[in-house]
Structure 1
Amino acid sequence: MGDSEEEWLKKGAEVEVSFEDEGFRGSWYTATVLRTVSKKNNKIFVEFHSLMADDRGSKPLREFVNVILVRPVPPRELTRTFKLSEEVDAFHNDGWWEGIVTAILQDSRYSVFFRSSREQIDFPDSDLRLHREWVHGIWVPPLEQQPPPPPPQEQE
């Protein structure tokens, strides 16, 4: 079978890519699939949204990446609040970086500590999402169910 996992790797699909390189571990960058998986080398050709190919920033970076470093874009619960010690991804330096909430600040801001860089940085909640892993085609931890909408009010 294996068709369902290919679905999110179709040409034009939005994905996230991680890098093995030192200094990039634990970070994910959004990209668009330009060419689907090559059976020969298991690589996929993508164009990054925020990484540039040149210093002027005029051309998006395009490259072949191993499909094991690619996942769908994780969903975001837009109304979520975060708890102390919760694992989050924070949007920083053009990518999503894995961190941990170390303080809850005013105005929906959070202080996040990054183990990889040993940095602590404050973010608005709009730049955070719950950290999830893509494991055998499902998100872990699983998506939280949004509460059902209230039943429509009967008009008198």
Structure 2
Amino acid sequence: MGKDESNLLRNCEIEVSSDEDGLKGAWFKAILEDDPKRRKKKLNVRYSTLQANNGSPLLETAYRKFIRPVPPENLFSTGDFEEGSVVEAAHRDGWWTGLFVKKLDDDKHLVFFDSPPDLIQFKRKQLRQHFKWTKGKWIKVKPQNKVRGFD
């Protein structure tokens, strides 16, 4: 088991991403169905928010590199976001990664998404700072240069 997986256990809550078009940068809550100690490239997951066509929770196999623990709540500040910050927004049953564009007022915030290109307004409680899960640690992603064209 790799260092990134040391605190993952069978039946624990996780977040799962994908490199499929239209899903890149999105993280969905799921339950880890396999024992991560088993030496398999892919692990079985049961999504908490995504459903199969018959309405039951979607079951899927996911590559290990697309599985991470659920970020702890104390990781996220409740303050304002810096323009150009990489954030995750609660949208379409998951957390979607985008760039913070600007705060319109106390509870209106604009976020830009690359794929597909879109600019969406969110409430503050729908946003969290984006962190990468690397070598068993949460690493804050540095802000990008100013977001151009949205002044």
TM-score, normalised with respect to structure 1:
0.79
Contact 1:91 1:127 in 2 (8 A): yes
Q: How many residues are paired up?
A: 139
Contact 2:68 2:133 in 1 (8 A): yes
Paired residue secondary structure (2:78) = coil
Distance, in Å, in 2 between the alignment partners of 1:71 and 1:21 is: 17
Residue correspondence of structure 1 range 6-155 to structure 2 within 5 A: 6-37=5-36, 39-54=38-53, 58-76=55-73, 77=76, 79-141=78-140
Paired residue secondary structure (2:28) = strand
Deviations 1:112-131 (A, max 9, x none): 00012110000011111101
Distance, in Å, in 2 between the alignment partners of 1:114 and 1:46 is: 26
Deviations 1:31-65 (A, max 9, x none): 111222373532211110111111x6x21101121
Distance, in Å, in 2 between the alignment partners of 1:39 and 1:18 is: 20
Residue 150 of structure 1 corresponds to: none
TM-score, normalised with respect to structure 2:
0.81
- Which has the higher Rg, Structure 1 or Structure 2? 1
- Displacement of 1:102 in angstroms is 0.9
Contact 1:85 1:100 in 2 (8 A): yes
Paired residue secondary structure (2:105) = coil
Identity over aligned pairs, percent: 33
Distance, in Å, in 1 between the alignment partners of 2:10 and 2:57 is: 17
Residue 152 of structure 1 corresponds to: none
Alpha-carbon RMSD? 2.1
